[in-house]
């Protein structure tokens, strides 16, 4: 448990340049407080006793009041998870989050099924980055080291190492989808799931179509003059 707590603190120091020291992290980071309260709530949720499960939900509600971050006590969170800023984050009951993931404000890890006892929420493998305002909806897997751009709406599985943006989310960096080996420890961290130079493929095609229309219009005007 103590090692896990150290990992949580170190994750913030490693991934937030605004974090100056351990004391500041301990006292001023609501994402850390929400994470630790969740770990406590999850211990009570593991019991089959109804009163203890109620108490777990009560701790989760207190955490929401204090931090603005809502995590169901049934969710499973790994080590070194960093919830940055955090206001408005919602993490559902059957969500699973791997080690060293980063989640920004306004993110929803939600379910699309009403069947009790079923897997309804997404699974994030290790080192996934979910940008601000993104919605990941459904019982699928987001592969290791994948990046989800801000405000993306993800409704299907994301390959390991891929970057997705848009509504609905689309892969914008195909070369990463089948080359997870390129994603190794020490790679530059992509804050908010943004990798410089990447563009939405639909946006690229639309610009190409506009350029082609302009070219054709110029040819038509030239033929008219002849």
pLDDT number for residue 221: 86
Average pLDDT over residues 67-78: 96
Measure the N-to-C terminal CA separation of the chain; round to a whole number of Å: 81
In degrees and rounded to multiples of 5, residue 165 shows phi and psi of: -145, 165
Q: Which is more confident, 11 or 2?
A: 11
* pLDDT above 90 for 41: yes
The whole-angstrom separation of Cα 111 and Cα 94 is: 8
Please give the pLDDT value at position 208: 81
Predicted confidence (pLDDT) per residue in 152-202, tens digit? 999 999 999 999 998 899 998 555 444 444 444 445 566 765 665 556 666
Domain parsing of the chain, residue ranges:
2-195, 198-226
Tell me what pLDDT residue 190 has.
Answer: 67
What pLDDT does 211 receive?
85
| Residue 55 predicted with pLDDT over 80 | yes
Whether the per-residue pLDDT at 58 is higher than 60: the answer is yes
Task: Say if CB 200 and CB 206 are below 8 A apart.
Answer: no
- Mean pLDDT computed over every residue of the chain: 87
Please report the pLDDT score of residue 87 as a whole number: 95
Mean pLDDT within 89-111:
95
3 state DSSP class of 207: helix
Mean pLDDT of 115-119: 89
The C-alpha torsion from 25 through 29 and 31 to 35, rounded to 10°, is: 50
Provide, rounded to the nearest whole percent, the portion of the chain with pLDDT above 90: 64
For 26-49, what is the mean pLDDT?
93
Which CATH fold topology does 2-195 show?
A: UDP N-Acetylglucosamine Acyltransferase; domain 1 (2.160.10)
Strand order in the sheet with 123-124: 76-77, 96-97, 123-124, 141-142
């Amino acid at each position: 448990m103590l090692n896990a707590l150290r990992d949580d603190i170190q994750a913030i120091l490693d991934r937030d340049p605004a974090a100056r020291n351990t004391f500041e992290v301990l006292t001023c980071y609501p994402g850390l407080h929400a994470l630790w309260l969740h770990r406590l709530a999850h211990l009570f949720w593991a019991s089959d006793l109804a009163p203890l499960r109620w108490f777990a939900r009560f701790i989760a509600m207190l955490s929401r009041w204090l931090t603005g971050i809502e995590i169901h006590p049934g969710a499973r969170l790994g080590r070194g998870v960093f919830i940055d800023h955090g206001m408005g984050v919602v993490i559902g009951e059957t969500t699973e989050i791997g080690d060293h993931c980063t989640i920004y404000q306004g993110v929803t890890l939600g379910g699309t099924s009403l069947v009790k006892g079923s897997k309804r929420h997404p699974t994030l493998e290790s080192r996934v980055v979910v940008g601000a305002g993104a919605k990941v909806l459904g019982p699928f897997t987001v592969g290791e080291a994948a990046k989800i751009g801000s405000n993306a709406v993800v409704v299907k599985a994301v390959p390991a190492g891929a970057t997705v943006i848009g509504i609905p989310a689309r892969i914008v960096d195909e070369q990463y989808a089948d080359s997870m080996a390129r994603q190794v420890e020490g790679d530059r961290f992509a804050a908010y799931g943004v990798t410089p130079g990447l563009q939405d493929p639909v946006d690229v095609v639309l610009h190409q179509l506009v350029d082609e229309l302009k070219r054709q219009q110029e040819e038509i005007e030239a033929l008219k003059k002849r």
